[in-house]
Structure 1
């Protein structure tokens, strides 16, 4: 008879997951169910969007009528700056010749609180706001166009042999640079030579500052309207090379009108401000002044801030900027 060979016993491996059996008693009857100890997948998908705080209009309106809003932008991994796929915030103060500390929006302490609170005195919030507003503007254009946008590329002209140049050219813009404190100037400008947008800051008028303090520093990078306006210039310049060349007076007029309308229509996506304005105008959104929060009689003079009518923010553009220059 054949003898059984001695050897090590083979342990049969099993891919079956460990399970737990739970016994329950309901109304005197017992039953047992088996529950898998581990779920089918432990992978956590990346977030779809990133929430960031910003001003809906500008700092001069304060906390009224939903001026402090939260913007939803498409999530992407960011380097400090912030620097993403399409835009890079470079906070170099040209007047003081200093780089300000870049904000790290991937810091867990900022992720959990939707970024920094709105602040005129913190340059990191300035960086956060320009990134958030430009990102949202890009998303709106891509939704409307049904495709991804690109920035300006140098025109490729054939040489004497009919060959077109290949590779990157000096004037190509692959990532739009944003400079929140580029210069001391009552201006902001999209500049192809800088491959980005330069935001200025300046002192408010001493004699007619509007709602600003006399001599207060006003930052154009904190005006939602100005950011959208200049981003629109960059988008138009990327749609067609030399589309911004002033071949006739209608070209700059078209650019300015299109950029202003883009910023104006964006107001109606600010839900809290829109609802407040509808309430205070009775639905007549074209009214330039809103009804005061506190009513007064015909013979009574306004004594409280709430008794003064305020401008309708939906139909105005860059109000702090205009008032600070004494032209608001």
Structure 2
């Protein structure tokens, strides 16, 4: 694809100011307390003389560590735009986030959307349905996905990095993200050779409304998490994406993408609460959690999502196409999730949303460790399941 084709000519990338209600600001009582605290930060010397200027040694001393509150607030889709139960909500991203937004591991692709600048509080809160909002949302989901799996490894006592496939001691390039990377294309993909994620946008066939009906895949929480999962797994198992890999190996890649969308949702307590309320704590009831990429699936003519994680497909029914066969593994994992939640749930002793959050955290860590331990090439479903059983018994 030519670089100039990454953005439509008519795209307006001017920055729109969000309404005041979208901007998270400290409350009035906090502001008053903060002003009083500032008066005590650097009191004058007892004799009333101003404090002496710092010495050269003090100036050259190492800067103090960043406070725990250092990070950025963002406004983002917590699910698909079509999922009304969640909609847009504020989220907190710990760690430094620079204009773009970008950080050491994730950067906006160029040419692309104009860099989004943080506001005075260091936050990225923009008007929905604008290029700036889409850039922030896409970055946020990629960052949350990477952070989720890094935490899963740390929780298991594995202090190991999650590199991108091309990273070496001499090549630390970040993953480039193109929210509008595939204009008028019904697709989104991860590219190892280009070191990027690209997301398409399109007007569904037979739908009236023109540009107002355009579907942006970058706005889908599920799709962004799915594609990021491909990048994460490719960094761990680079031979799994080779052209001669068997169908089940490709199916593991696709299943990991769909399961990542589910696990990322369940890593957030507000989404756990929404799922529990929607299903009355029965995960086999109809829920947006098991529908993957709802808006995209409906735009392609499907009844609900692009795929359904709560399925009972068998290998003989699925065939060998990687997306189809992936549903067998995804469905089995979803059954395990639902069964573990049903077994662990005890509303008398613990909140159901907290239990779901905890069960999902255990299961995603178990799956990630099993994938790492699986064969470096030609891995099958049995290989991964056996590793899960072995790790669970240790």
Does the 8 A contact of 2:109 with 2:196 survive in 1? no
State the 4+ residue runs in structure 1 displaced beyond 6 angstroms.
41-44, 212-215
TM-score normalised to structure 2 length: 0.55
Count of residues in Structure 1 that have an aligned counterpart in Structure 2 = 242
Q: Give yes or no for the alignment of 1:153 onto 2:152.
A: no
RMSD (Å), alpha carbons: 3.2
Structure with the higher helix share, 1 or 2: 2
Over 3 Å counting, the alpha-carbon distance change for 1:66 and 1:20 in structure 2 is: farther
Aligned CA distance change for structure 1 residues 44 and 316 (closer, same or farther; 3 Å): same
Q: Show the counterpart of 2:323.
A: none
Name stretches of at least 5 consecutive residues in structure 1 with no aligned partner: 1-16, 22-36, 93-98, 156-166, 289-311
Match of 1:18 in 2: 45
1:319 to 280, 283, 294: 294
Q: What does 1:44-83 align with in structure 2 at a 5 Å threshold? A: 45-46=66-67, 47-61=69-83, 64-78=84-98, 80-83=99-102
Change (3 A) 1:66 1:271: farther
Question: 1:192 aligns to what?
Answer: 192
Given candidates 250, 260, 272, the residue that maps to 1:252 is 250
Asked whether the equivalents of residues 65 and 273 of structure 1 are also in contact (C-alpha less than 8 Å), the reply is no
Is the partner of 1:194 in helix, strand or coil? coil
Matching residue within 117, 139, 147 for 1:139: 147
1:226 Cα deviation from its structure 2 partner? 0.6
How far apart, CA to CA, are the structure 2 residues paired with 1:317 and 1:118?
25
Deviations 1:132-156 (A, max 9, x none): 111111111111122331111389x
Matches within 5 A, 1:214-225: 216-225=213-222
Question: How far apart, in 1, do the equivalents of 2:254 and 2:175 lie?
Answer: 20
The answer to whether the aligner puts 1:84 opposite 2:103 as a matched pair is yes
**Which deviations, in whole Å up to 9, do the C-alpha atoms of 1:150-204 show, x marking residues without a partner?**
111389xxxxxxxxxxx74xxx662100011111211110001211111111112
- Preserved CA contact (<8 Å) 1:89 1:179: yes
Q: Secondary structure at the match of 2:176?
A: strand
Change (3 A) 1:241 1:315: closer
Structure 2: gaps of 5 or more residues: 1-43, 53-57, 155-159, 305-394
Kept in 1: contact 2:126–2:132 (CA 8 A): no
Q: Write 1 or 2 for the structure with the bigger share of strand.
A: 1
Structure with the greater alpha carbon radius of gyration:
1
Would you say 1:242 and 2:262 are equivalent positions?
no
